[in-house]
Amino acid sequence: MHNVLLGIFRTLLKFWTETSNKPYSLPTAAKQEIDRRIHSVKRQICSEFEGSPRPLEKLEFYKATELRLMLLYLGPFLFHTVVKEPYYEHFLLLASAIRILCHPTWYVTQNNTAKTLLKLFGEKFQLYYGEQFFGYNFHICSAHLADNSLSHGNLDAFSAFPFENYSQIMLHYIKKAPNPLQQFKTRLEEHLNFETSSKKKVCKQRGDHYSVITNEKNCTISDHPNDNFIFANNNVYQVQNITKNNHDFELKCKKVTHLLSLYMDPLPSKSVGLFCSGSLTLESDIVLFNSNSVSKVLCINFDNIFGFIVVLYTS
């Protein structure tokens, strides 16, 4: 949260948007194009996310969740063909490495790949932006982050997000100035005894079928846009219908065809769960999946480009 998103990634965005007469500075037209793309995908974000990032002129007020959505999901598409190629490819080093380290298994199986990408990111940052800007955050990320994930788990396992989210709850525990510690202890005991921390399950039935369900991974799956794409067997599918088979939900899907990698360097985007296509083309055959065996996919569409991004975490 603090090292990568609020530290490194926001610094990159500031270099692009708040400087002038530099090789990496974005012209006004480029910034307007990115803002137009952000506006285009604003209503296409799936239920697992709070919403789309705000325009770049609001960068100063970006929250860490907005930066995370842009770095891991939207950024490779929003910046494609707009940010100059060397700086776009440099950004992809960071985005690809962090996607690997956020994955529940890749952070171990592809740790060396992420480590190599981050080291190269640090070296090129000094070349492109200047050694004087290579601060503590960049050193930690390029030299130690991959090793830290091996010790502590994927990046979400030791992120500050849960602590930041809980701080608002803690503040509500304190109702008046005197005895804040006693108030907090009492309210916390009430919370632990009487409230549940699990996400409320969603299940909307329509005749013999279901329009919206929530699976065991807390993924919201629907037969309506925004929540009707899934990932299974290394392919992307569109949900056509949802039925119940005993105690499990069954998804009737059609496979999305002609999927390509958005970029090939530093590694094919398919290998980190990013796909693109010029159109939405589906196979005619129906494929069945258990709802608990699939992952969610975020689908965005602008300028006749369809982007499909596998959601890493939904909790």
Q: Do 32 and 142 sit in the same domain of this protein?
A: yes
Neighbouring C-beta atoms of residue 109, cutoff 10 Å: 10
Please tell me the distance from the alpha carbon of residue 238 to that of residue 224, in angstroms, as a whole number.
10
Mean pLDDT of 269-286: 96
pLDDT in tens, 214-240: 988 888 999 899 999 999 999 999 999
Sheet holding 305-310, edge to edge: 274-277, 305-310, 295-302, 229-232, 235-245, 248-255, 287-290
Asked if the structure places residue 83 within a domain, the reply is: yes
Mean pLDDT of 107-128: 97
Asked if the structure places residue 98 within a domain, the reply is: yes
Mean pLDDT of 268-294: 95
Q: Do 142 and 54 sit in the same domain of this protein?
A: yes
pTM of the complete model: 0.89
Asked if the structure places residue 286 within a domain, the reply is: yes
Mean pLDDT of 92-96: 98
Q: Which of 181-190, 257-266, 301-310 has the lowest mean pLDDT?
A: 181-190
Q: Do 33 and 94 sit in the same domain of this protein?
A: yes
Asked if the structure places residue 315 within a domain, the reply is: no
Q: Do 131 and 221 sit in the same domain of this protein?
A: no
The model's confidence at residue 117, banded by pLDDT at 50, 70 and 90, is very high
Asked if the structure places residue 244 within a domain, the reply is: yes
**Domains identified in the chain, total number:** 3
Q: Do 145 and 184 sit in the same domain of this protein?
A: no
Q: Do 184 and 216 sit in the same domain of this protein?
A: no
Q: Do 9 and 126 sit in the same domain of this protein?
A: yes
Q: Do 84 and 137 sit in the same domain of this protein?
A: yes
State the residue range of the domain holding 210.
203-310
Asked if the structure places residue 163 within a domain, the reply is: no
Q: Do 172 and 40 sit in the same domain of this protein?
A: no
H helix intervals, 240-311: none
Q: Do 114 and 45 sit in the same domain of this protein?
A: yes
Task: Check residue 201 and give its pLDDT.
Answer: 62
**Contact call for residues 4 and 117 (beta carbons, < 8 A):** no
Task: Check residue 204 and give its pLDDT.
Answer: 73
Q: Do 76 and 188 sit in the same domain of this protein?
A: no
pLDDT in tens, 143-194: 999 999 999 999 999 988 877 767 777 778 888 888 888 888 888 888 777 6
Q: Do 24 and 146 sit in the same domain of this protein?
A: yes
